[in-house]
Amino acid sequence: MKFTIGWLKEHLDTKKKDSELIDKLTDLGLEVESFESLNSDLDNFKVAKIINTEQHPNADRLRICDVDIGQENTVKVVCGAPNAKKDLLTIYAGPGSIIPKNNMKLSVSKIRGVISYGMLCSESELNLSDESEGITELNTSQYLDKIGKNFFKSNSEKVVDLSITPNRPDCLGVRGVARDLAAAGAGKLKNISNKNIKKNGSQTIKVSIKKEKNQGCIVFGSCLIKGVTNKESPKWLKEKIISLGQKPISAIVDITNYVMLDLNRPLHAYDADKIDKEITVRNSKNGETFEALDNKEYKLSDEMCVISDKSGVLGLGGIIGGKRSGTEINTKNILLESAYFIPRSIRKTSKLLNLDTDAKFRFERGIDPESIELGLLKASELISKICGGKISNFDIQKTEKFNKNKIKFNLSLFEKITGFKIKDHEIIKILTDLGFEVSRKKLELDLKIPTWRPDITQPIDIVEEIVRVKGYNNIETLEPEKTKIKDTLNKQQKLFHFLQRSVASKGYFETVTWSFTDSKINNLFKENLKEIKIVNPISSDLNVLRNSIFTNLIFYLKKNLDRGFKDISLFEIGPIFKDSKPGAQLTVIGAIKSGKVSRLIWNEKERLVDVFDVKKDAIQTLVEAGYDRKSLFIRDKSPSYYHPGKAGSVYLDKDDIEPVAYFGDIHPNIIKKLDIKTEGLVGFEIYLDHLKENKIKLKDQKPNFEYSDFQKSERDFAFIVDKNFKAQDLVEIISSIDKDLIRSIKIFDIYEGENIPVDKKSIALNVTIQSFEKTLEESDLEKINNLIISTVESKSGAKIRS
Partner 1 sequence: MSYIKKIKDEYLYKLNNNLSIEIVNQIKTELFGKNGQISNLFKTLGSLKTDERIKYASELNSIKEELQEKINSKLQEIEIREVNSKLENEKVDVTLPEREINRGKIHPVSQVIDEISSIFSEIGFSVEEGPDIENEHYNFTALNTPDNHPARDMHDTFYLDNNKELLLRTHTSPVQVRTMLNGKPPFKIIAPGRTYRSDSDQTHSPMFHQVEGLHIDKDINMGHLKGCLNYFIKSFFEVDKIKMRFRPSHFPFTEPSAEVDIGYELKDGKIVIGEGNKWLEILGCGMVHPNVLKNVKVNPDKYQGYAFGIGIDRLGMLKYGINDLRAFFETDYRWLNHFGFDPLDVPSNYRGLSR
590 Cβ neighbours under 8 A, 6+ residues apart: 548, 549, 550, 553, 571, 572, 573, 683, 684, 685
Of 158-217, binders to partner 1 (CB under 8 A) are 165-168
From candidates 473, 724, 779, 802, binder to partner 1 by CB under 8 A: 473
Residues 521, 636: contact at Cβ < 8 Å?
Answer: no
Q: Of the candidates 195, 196, 403, 478, which one interacts with partner 1 according to CB under 8 A?
A: 478
By CB under 8 A, the residues from 577 to 616 that bind partner 1 are: 577, 580-585, 597-598, 601-604
Decide: is 702 part of the binding site for partner 1 (CB under 8 A): no
Q: Does 479 bind partner 1 (CB under 8 A)?
A: yes
Length of the chain: 802
Least CB distance to partner 1 at residue 467 (A): 6
- State the DSSP H helix or E strand holding residue 560, giving kind and residue range, or none if neither: helix 550-562
| Cβ atoms 372, 338 nearer than 8 A | yes
Q: Using CB atoms within 10 A of its CB, is residue 255 exposed (0-12), middle (13-18) or buried (19+)?
A: buried
Say which residues have a Cβ less than 8 Å from residue 405's Cβ, sequence separation at least 6: 448, 449, 456, 457
Q: List residues bridging with 635 in a β-sheet.
A: 649
467 torsion bin: left (phi>0), alpha (psi -120 to 50), beta (else): alpha
Residue 630 found at the interface with partner 1 (CB under 8 A) = no
List the x/- string, 520-559, binding to partner 1 by CB under 8 A: ------------xxxxxxx---x--x------xx--x--x
Part of the chain binding partner 1 (CB under 8 A), chosen from 11-19, 519-527, 571-579, 757-765: 571-579
Distance of alpha carbon 58 from alpha carbon 68, whole angstroms: 24
> Applying CB under 8 A, which of residues 486, 605, 672, 697 lies at the interface with partner 1?
486
Q: How far is the CB of 288 from partner 1 (least distance, A)?
A: 23
Does the protein bind partner 1 through residue 673 (CB under 8 A)? no
SS3 of 183-224: HCCCCEECCCCCCCCCECCCCCCCEEECCCCCCCEEEEEEEE
Q: Within positions 29 to 68, which residues make up the interface with partner 1, using CB under 8 A?
A: 29, 31
| Among the residue ranges 13-21, 230-238, 426-434, 481-489, the one whose residues contact partner 1 (CB under 8 A) | 481-489
Q: How far is CA 282 from the centre of its chain?
A: 37
Q: Does 28 bind partner 1 (CB under 8 A)?
A: yes
Applying the rule CB under 8 A, the residues between 494 and 513 that interact with partner 1 are: 497, 500-513
Please name the residue ranges forming H helices in 419-458: 424-433
Nearer of residues 68 and 364 to partner 1, judged by Cβ: 364
**DSSP track, 661-716:** EEEEEEPHHHHHHTT---S-EEEEEEEGGG-PPPSS-TTSPPPP-----SPPEEEE
Is 234 a binding residue for partner 1 by CB under 8 A? The answer is no
464 binds partner 1 (CB under 8 A): yes
Q: How far apart are the first and last CA of the chain?
A: 93
Q: Provide the H-helix boundaries in 101-164.
A: 140-143
* Helices and strands, number each (H, E), in the chain: 19, 45
Binder among 72, 481, 700, 754 for partner 1 (CB under 8 A): 481
Shortest separation between residue 125's beta carbon and partner 1, angstroms: 36
Considering only residues 314-353, where is the footprint of partner 1 by CB under 8 A?
343-344, 347-348
Interaction of residue 26 with partner 1, rule CB under 8 A:
yes
Binder among 458, 523, 669, 775 for partner 1 (CB under 8 A): 458
- Shortest spacing between CB 531 and partner 1, in angstroms: 11
The least distance separating partner 1 from the CB of residue 702, rounded to whole angstroms, comes to 24
- Residue of 480, 697, 724, 739 that binds partner 1 (CB under 8 A): 480
Each residue 382-421 as x (binds partner 1 by CB under 8 A) or -, in order, gives ----------------------------------xxxxx-
Angstrom CA distances, 197 to 377, 378, 384, 577, stand at: 8, 9, 9, 67
Nearer to partner 1, 605 or 630 (CB): 605
Using rule CB under 8 A, residue 666 touches partner 1: no
Among 19, 330, 483, 528, binds partner 1 (CB under 8 A): 483
